[in-house]
Structure 1
Amino acid sequence: MINHPVSRRQLMTIGTAGAVGLGLAGCSTGAPTSSTGSRAETVLPSYKPQQPATGAGAVSSEVDDLPQIYTRNPTRYWSSVEAPPGDGGQVTTFQMLWFAPPAAVGKNPYWQQLNKNLNVDYRPTLASSDTYNDKLATVLAGGNVPDLAFIQDQVAVGAQAIQQGAFADLTDVLAGDKILKYPNLANLPTYGWQNSAKNGRIFGIPHVNPAVSSSATIRTDLMRAAGYREQPTSADEMLALFTDLSKIKKFGGKQVWPIGGLGTYQIQRFVSWMQGVGPSWREDGGKLINQLETDEFASTIDYLIKLWKAGCFHPDALALGSDSQRSKEKQMWTEGRFAFELDSPPWLAQQGMQQVEDGTQGAIVDFLQPAPADGVEVVVERDAGYWGIVGISAKAAEDDRKLDRLLGICNYFAAPYGTTESLFLGSGIEGYNFRFGADKKIIDLDNSQAETNLQGLHWLGASSPSTITLDGVNARRKDNLLADLEMLTKASKTDPTVGLYSDAQTRSSAKLDQLNEDWRNKIVTGRAPMTAIAQWRQEWRRAGGDQVRQEFQDAMQKGH
């Protein structure tokens, strides 16, 4: 039994104070431990991977923490849950609604089947992503915590709810081999548990993300037209490649540019890898240093200046590099206008690269690996590894049997690709949502209401590890994709502030992001000298950067 009751007065405090800045922000067993900075030691759940999807052409790797790559559809689906976890009783949830609301249970075959598969009376409260944390604060203030709730623990309402005891400490029932009772939870990568732990304790099931969330690509046909047969092996060679690509101007009847937008999370991120910048924060002698304050960051800006002077960017690069025009820049790349693009590896390998090749005759797109600058190693900012957790109500966890049932439900939702549970959660009901085609290809039945019913209910927040499934057309990319992910993952480093909460970060992140974008654009385009980076740093510190630093440092020292 886990008994950490929380009073209604505490919940009301969460609901009011938490309403400030509620933006959405290898095989081994045993009990690994870790410590990050001055955080308390965490006794982590054992890791025991589930079997790969049957007949799906799994691609193996010796590098840990990669998403599993598949090259075919599963030939057979297996069950990862021996029996429905529920007892027929009611289970309440608070979860995110990404699309339109589903139909009521009486008119919803998917909901009815979900109840049957779980053996529960599933009662979700659904909230859209843009108002999610506001509504969660209201629910918590009402004093009735749902049995299961998705919590963004780096947002005020989530962080305070955990700190004040609204959700159960699950460490004693999940640490070490105890998690093996829930094999799909044991299949979650260790970094998800490690990064989401608070003061050495586990307060929820992590919604795991890949360790590396971005990859770069290059138009190999344009590279060859510029006289290159191999990808660059140094940052200087990369600059020469982009410079020579800028001289092509027109190719295949289309006007082309090496790079589209001057984007923070596109070309700037790629250059920062080559310059060894690393995570947003690094720890040095007990003090946090922001990447803006490093020599490597200054080298990144200097490199972008060189690209700008060489004419490597589209004329509207500043606009195309902004968040508001990201979709336009992406569309222009798929239309064959740009040689370089950086995006998520699954989207690139499953769709984006093929869209470029289909839309431009003779186009060849490959993953582009970053090449190191002189005297440095490539460093990639490792993803946080998780995006929120599914917490279990402290009150519900007082009952050992109910706690076991709720963990069993999370275990169901975390079923891996290739299982009957994952097929149901991802594709729905055969004959209602989809049918099988040749080679077990899943074909949508174009039933809009059936799709709405599926999308409205299947996302609790607990999820399986990431996979990348390449169809018959894109299976040829597997070796190129694997080599890129292996290189980036091995070069990745974790930010020491992962899993920590800073109220100043929540309140000032948009302002600081805009300040950084404005200063970068001025310096890169020559409207301010490179020496102005000193003023940029001063303004960043005064605008909230120093306060964010202090709050993160305080959190690290407290071990939260």
Structure 2
Amino acid sequence: MPVSRRRFLGGGLAAAAVAVTGTPLLAGCASDKKTSAAANAAVKLPTYTRYGGVKPDLPGTDVVLDGFLKYPASPVKAIAEIPGDGKPITFMTNIPGAIPPAVDKNQFWQELNKRLGSELQISMASNDEYDDKFATRVAGGDLPDIMNIPPSTPQIPGLLKAKATDLTEHLSGDAVNKYPFLANIPTIYWKGCVFNGAIYGVPVPRGMSRTSLPLYRTDLLAAKGIKNPAPKSFEEFFDICKEMTAAKDNRWSWTRVPTSYIRMMLGLPNNWKEEGGKFTSVYEADGNEDALEASRKMVAAGVINPDTFSAKAAARKQWFNGGTAAFDYDSTVAWNQYYSDNTAGDAFGVDMLDVPGFTSGAGKVWMGAALNNVTAFNKSSKHSVETLLKVANWMAAPFGTEEYLFRKYGVVGRHYNLVGTDPVPTKTGIVETGIGLQYIADSALALYWAGKPDVPQKQHAIESKIADRMVYDASYGLYSETSSKKWGQLTGVLTDLENQIVQGKKPVSDWAPAVKTFLSSGGEKIRGELQDAFTAAGGK
């Protein structure tokens, strides 16, 4: 199973809120969870109005992302009004890469402040440290104007009700049209921002861009005479993996064990499945034992880098970039990042593998998590709600606009150079622009890579191929208090067992009793809470 890029808080945030309020985070929410779920379902979500100012070269759909072969020659200046109010605005966020230079040494940040019309003061932490830092700020009652709140935050309804501004009257239905680039965010993403019968945040959308499948090095496979691989079963896939492994030469097929991919071959649920009002978790579904046995076979055959069980994500990415692994399980976001980090020269190429059925036919594909984070506004902020929404709207200007070009690439000549109409980042640009603006608000990802039109073409092709086989997480938009508190702990035990099984240290037969323990320790209660919420919401 894929795990969140942020580790589970282990109750730290909940404990922090108790220190502030003297009560659990959920206090202040509707005590009747069925009533709360019904109230959430009754909220009129923002009306989706697709922005038509930029025409994609590769048009998308409700599922497939828009693709662009080059950046438009004359980017649209989409926002005339400066969004800020002249006063400093504070923001707290995680940073996925290295912490960038401070504002006094960062010309991109300085130019951003001019364009916003307010100084954006950003408190940053690495991905690994963010949860603890956020919990500390909650406990100290020292929250910024704009908050990046992970969807995995324990007891999130209570936190939002206690600390965040209710945005319903500003965003519900056609009211969102005042902020056209927030209106350009598809409705499905707003569903994850509704708590306590109100809209409490702005979504940072992901979905298809976070859908993970095997990424593979086209250059390495081509060197073995394998072009356009399309295995029709697990066994054919396994044969390719064996072909791409040469352990004596320090080359393995995989950076890690692709158990999630094998689960998709077997048609297992994406986290939770709903059928007739009954919820089933991926862990208890039929086919897990087959997936674990197939994964064990791959480890035993030596096609997985043997250091994978102790290595961190950064090391695995280096294996893929460096050519010691031909496959990695990741998303479109990582696909682009691999090109950014490429150390193999012009021959370097990446593509994505489709999912076959385990024995024949076509497999299912798990849709990526809908949200990266919910952006909430501190109800104690001295800024007007309208100002903070204008800032978010500015941050959400989509691909092809002048605002997007600056936000993602900076200033021409310093942060990027133009090759034709394409902005190609400089080393300075990569360092200075990584200040986390995408976590205030963002448009849906556009498929694009500067100077390499074949990249969005490949990405658009695989998305179009899998679009009608996507499997969605039925728990999205439904709140379970038990899951909020215990999901990371419960699933962590199963993940540890999974690792033991695939390494051959424990038998596959240990899985079934472990799932029974998972259910009795909280999984069954989570199921019941999700079912109650689903029913109360009218089955939606």
Q: In the alignment, is the contact (CA less than 8 A) between 2:37 and 2:478 conserved in 1?
A: no
Please state if 1:118 is matched with 2:116. yes
Instruction: Return closer, same or farther for 1:121/1:519 CA change in 2, 3 Å cut-off.
Output: closer
Aligned to 1:428: 410
Please state if 1:201 is matched with 2:191. no
Question: What SS class does the counterpart of residue 207 from structure 1 fall into?
Answer: strand
Please state if 1:392 is matched with 2:388. no
1:342 to 329, 341, 344: 329
Instruction: Return closer, same or farther for 1:350/1:142 CA change in 2, 3 Å cut-off.
Output: closer
Q: In the alignment, is the contact (CA less than 8 A) between 2:268 and 2:287 conserved in 1?
A: yes
Aligned to 1:405: 387
Structure 1 residue 84, shift from structure 2 partner: 1.0
Aligned to 1:298: 289
Instruction: Return closer, same or farther for 1:428/1:323 CA change in 2, 3 Å cut-off.
Output: farther
Instruction: Return closer, same or farther for 1:150/1:217 CA change in 2, 3 Å cut-off.
Output: closer
Aligned to 2:58: 59
**Residues 497-537 of structure 1: per-residue CA shift (max 9 Å, x gap):** 22455565465555444432343344445554443332232
Q: Using the alignment, how far apart are the partners of 2:51 and 2:397 within structure 1?
A: 9
Aligned to 2:472: 494
Q: In the alignment, is the contact (CA less than 8 A) between 1:185 and 1:414 conserved in 2?
A: yes
Larger Rg: 1
Q: In the alignment, is the contact (CA less than 8 A) between 1:219 and 1:340 conserved in 2?
A: yes
Structure 1 residue 443, shift from structure 2 partner: 5.0
Q: What fraction of aligned residue pairs are identical, expressed as a percent?
A: 25
Aligned to 1:371: 356
Question: Which one is further off, 73-82 or 194-203?
Answer: 194-203
Please state if 1:156 is matched with 2:151. no
Paired AA for residue 437 in structure 1: L
Question: Which one is further off, 347-356 or 532-541?
Answer: 347-356
Aligned to 2:320: 333
Q: In the alignment, is the contact (CA less than 8 A) between 1:80 and 1:415 conserved in 2?
A: yes
Question: What SS class does the counterpart of residue 71 from structure 1 fall into?
Answer: coil
Question: What SS class does the counterpart of residue 534 from structure 1 fall into?
Answer: helix
Please state if 1:314 is matched with 2:304. yes
Question: What SS class does the counterpart of residue 274 from structure 2 fall into?
Answer: strand
TM-score by length of 2: 0.79
Q: In the alignment, is the contact (CA less than 8 A) between 2:70 and 2:450 conserved in 1?
A: yes
Structure 1 residue 409, shift from structure 2 partner: 1.2
Aligned to 2:9: none
Alignment of 1:25-36 (within 5 A): none
Q: In the alignment, is the contact (CA less than 8 A) between 1:15 and 1:157 conserved in 2?
A: no
Q: In the alignment, is the contact (CA less than 8 A) between 2:79 and 2:394 conserved in 1?
A: yes
Instruction: Return closer, same or farther for 1:256/1:451 CA change in 2, 3 Å cut-off.
Output: closer
Alignment of 1:514-553 (within 5 A): 514-542=492-520, 544-550=522-528, 552-553=530-531
1:437 to 418, 426, 450: 418
Q: Structure 1: where are the runs of 5+ without partners?
A: 1-9, 21-34
Aligned to 2:44: 43
Paired AA for residue 511 in structure 2: I
1:216 to 214, 217, 220: 214
Q: Using the alignment, how far apart are the partners of 1:516 and 1:284 within structure 2?
A: 24
Aligned to 1:261: 256
Q: Using the alignment, how far apart are the partners of 1:435 and 1:226 within structure 2?
A: 36
Q: Using the alignment, how far apart are the partners of 2:83 and 2:231 within structure 1?
A: 53
**Count of matched residue pairs:** 512
Instruction: Return closer, same or farther for 1:444/1:480 CA change in 2, 3 Å cut-off.
Output: closer
Instruction: Return closer, same or farther for 1:511/1:200 CA change in 2, 3 Å cut-off.
Output: closer
Aligned to 2:8: none
Question: What SS class does the counterpart of residue 293 from structure 1 fall into?
Answer: coil
Q: In the alignment, is the contact (CA less than 8 A) between 2:423 and 2:450 conserved in 1?
A: no
Instruction: Return closer, same or farther for 1:102/1:470 CA change in 2, 3 Å cut-off.
Output: closer
Instruction: Return closer, same or farther for 1:52/1:330 CA change in 2, 3 Å cut-off.
Output: farther
Q: Using the alignment, how far apart are the partners of 2:415 and 2:466 within structure 1?
A: 36
Paired AA for residue 487 in structure 1: K
Structure 1 residue 382, shift from structure 2 partner: 1.7
Question: What SS class does the counterpart of residue 207 from structure 2 fall into?
Answer: coil
Paired AA for residue 209 in structure 1: R
Q: In the alignment, is the contact (CA less than 8 A) between 2:92 and 2:122 conserved in 1?
A: yes
2:176 to 179, 182, 205: 179
Paired AA for residue 492 in structure 1: M
Over aligned residues, Cα RMSD in angstroms? 4.2
Alignment of 1:89-104 (within 5 A): 89-96=87-94, 99-100=98-99, 103=102
